Amino acid sequence: MALKATICKATLQISDMDRNYYQEHALTVARHPSETDERMMVRLLAFALHASDALAFGKGLSTDDEPDIWERDLTGAIRTWIDVGQPDEKRIRKACGRAEQVFVYTYGAQAPRVWWSQVEAKLEKLRNLTVVRLPPETRDLAKLADRNMRLSCTIQERQIWFSNDAASVVIEPESLQAPAQA
C-alpha cells in the first residue's frame, strides 16, 4: 500500500516591507511521504516571498507538469511558476515556456553549488528565470514544522525572519540569476 501525504495546516502572517504586502494566509500543505520538513518549510518560505490571493500550492513531488507553487490568471495562464530544490534543466526550460515568470529556490549546504555549476551556462539565456540560493540555515526551518503551525514571516531588504512562538530563523537569500531590469 502506498503511503499517503501528511496534511499540515499553517496560519502564516506575512509582513513583506519590500512589497508593502501585509496579510494572513490559512494554508493547507500536503507533505509527500518522501519530502523532508526542511523542504516543506522552504515551500512555505517561497510562498511568503510571492504571497498573493491567487498563489496556490501544486499537487506535489509526484506531479511533473505542475510546480511546487504557482499563480494562474483568470484565463488559466500561468503567471508565476515556483520550484524548490534542484530541478533538472528540461523542467526549467519547459516552465519558462509555460509561465510569465519562473523562480527556483535551491537550498542545502553543497548541493546547490554543484547543481548550479552544472546548469548555469544552459539556463543563462532564459529571460524569465530567477534562481535564488537559500543558505544552509534553511535546515533550522525544519524545527518550526508541525502538523498545526502558526508562523510569522517578516521580509525587509531581502532578509527574511521566519518564526513561531518558540523559535526564529533568519534567512538571507542569494540571487544566482535574475531577469535583466528594463
What is the rounded distance in angstroms from the CA atom of residue 75 to the CA atom of residue 59?
Answer: 20
| Cell 519590500 belongs to residue | 18
**Which tens digits make up the pLDDT trace of 31-62?**
988 899 999 999 999 999 999 999 999 876 65
What is the rounded distance in angstroms from the CA atom of residue 78 to the CA atom of residue 64?
Answer: 15
In the predicted model, is pLDDT for residue 4 greater than 90?
Answer: no
Indicate the range of 10-14, 29-33, 93-97, 138-142 predicted with least confidence. 29-33
CATH homologous superfamily of 6-177 equals Restriction endonuclease-like alpha-beta roll domain (3.10.640.10)
